[in-house]
């Protein structure tokens, strides 16, 4: 059994020299990150499609079992709102081809205004995603969480093509008032929605955001360690991404989450040993 864990990015100033070697050339940063975690959110593709050379570099720095959640570009998900998107989708996926099996799923994060009346557009788009490429959809419209009728209809749309519903858990962030600027920013920007932990496929995906206090972060993920352990016992292959408001400790916390699940399910494969942050010493 293998549990994949990761963070929102693979390069973060707060990790340099403390968790990851520093300095690191751009073409070595993902490789160093992959010694800590075996998955990553591909948020960078939401803002701009990288060059083919950059994508080839990502492939060279990771093994084929590494999981990259490939975020659909914003012009397609938020600009076109998935309508008439065949050409830009095809162009985007062509650039990503060198990643091969590392693309775990096409992550379709939709704006909060994308609601029940848009389900037909979503269904049509999902049917145009190439066969063999998994899709996972993250919705933020309250109706999908508060009205069982719309929840079931969305599940049917996803189930028709074997797509997953990305779980984005922000309940820990909003459990108590923010204590610093990073948490206040999270309060202002993150969606305040109920936790959802129902898996539709054998590859569930969870995005969990905790607090600046590591203790409160780990207390808040207790629901997920148990749920993920159950999924593994059922034969599913989950991927979990750990965030905190400033992400300074998210890399270490992702490994801690993996350790806690592995304590519940000893058959889970261990993560690789992280690269040392500095040159080897005699003592």
What's the helix, strand, coil split of the chain in %, to 5?
45, 15, 45
% of the chain surpassing 90 pLDDT: 94
> What's the confidence (pLDDT) of residue 10?
96
Sequence-separated (6 or more) residues with CB below 8 Å from residue 163 = 126, 134, 135, 136, 137, 157, 200, 201
Could you tell me which of 196, 194, 197, 118 has the C-alpha nearest to residue 154? 118
User: Given pLDDT bands bounded at 50, 70 and 90, which one contains residue 277?
Assistant: confident
> What's the confidence (pLDDT) of residue 215?
96
pLDDT tens digit sequence for 12-21 = 999 999 999 9
Helix (H) or strand (E) holding 157: helix 148-161
> What's the confidence (pLDDT) of residue 1?
86
In the chain, count H helices and then E strands.
12, 9
pLDDT tens digit sequence for 58-79 = 999 999 999 999 999 999 999 9
> What's the confidence (pLDDT) of residue 278?
61
pTM above 0.85, yes or no: yes
pLDDT tens digit sequence for 175-221 = 999 999 999 999 999 999 999 999 999 999 999 999 999 999 999 99
């Amino acid at each position: 059994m293998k549990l994949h864990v990761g963070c929102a990015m693979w390069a973060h100033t707060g990790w340099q020299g403390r968790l990851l070697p520093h300095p690191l050339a751009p073409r070595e940063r993902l490789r160093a990150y992959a010694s800590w975690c075996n998955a990553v959110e591909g948020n960078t593709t939401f803002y701009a499609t990288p060059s083919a050379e950059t994508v080839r570099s990502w492939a060279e720095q990771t093994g084929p079992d590494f999981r990259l959640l490939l975020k659909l570009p914003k012009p397609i998900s938020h600009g076109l709102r998935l309508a008439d998107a065949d050409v830009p989708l095809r162009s985007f996926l062509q650039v990503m081809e060198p990643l091969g099996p590392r693309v775990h799923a096409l992550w379709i994060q939709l704006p909060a205004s994308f609601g029940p009346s848009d389900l037909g557009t979503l269904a049509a788009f999902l049917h145009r995603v190439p066969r063999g490429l998994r899709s996972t959809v993250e919705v933020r419209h309250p109706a999908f969480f508060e009205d069982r009728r719309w929840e079931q209809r969305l599940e049917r749309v996803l189930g028709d093509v074997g797509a997953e519903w990305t779980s984005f858990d922000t309940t820990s962030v909003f459990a108590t008032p923010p204590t610093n600027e990073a948490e206040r920013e999270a309060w202002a920007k993150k969606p305040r929605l109920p936790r959802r932990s129902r898996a539709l496929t054998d590859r569930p995906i969870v995005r969990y955001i905790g607090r600046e206090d590591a203790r409160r972060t780990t207390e808040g993920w207790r629901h997920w360690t148990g749920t993920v352990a159950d999924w593994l016992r059922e034969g599913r292959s989950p991927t979990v991404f750990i965030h905190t408001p400033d992400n300074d400790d998210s890399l270490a916390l992702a490994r801690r989450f993996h350790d806690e699940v592995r304590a519940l399910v000893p058959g889970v494969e261990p993560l690789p040993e992280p690269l040392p942050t500095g040159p080897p010493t005699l003592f």
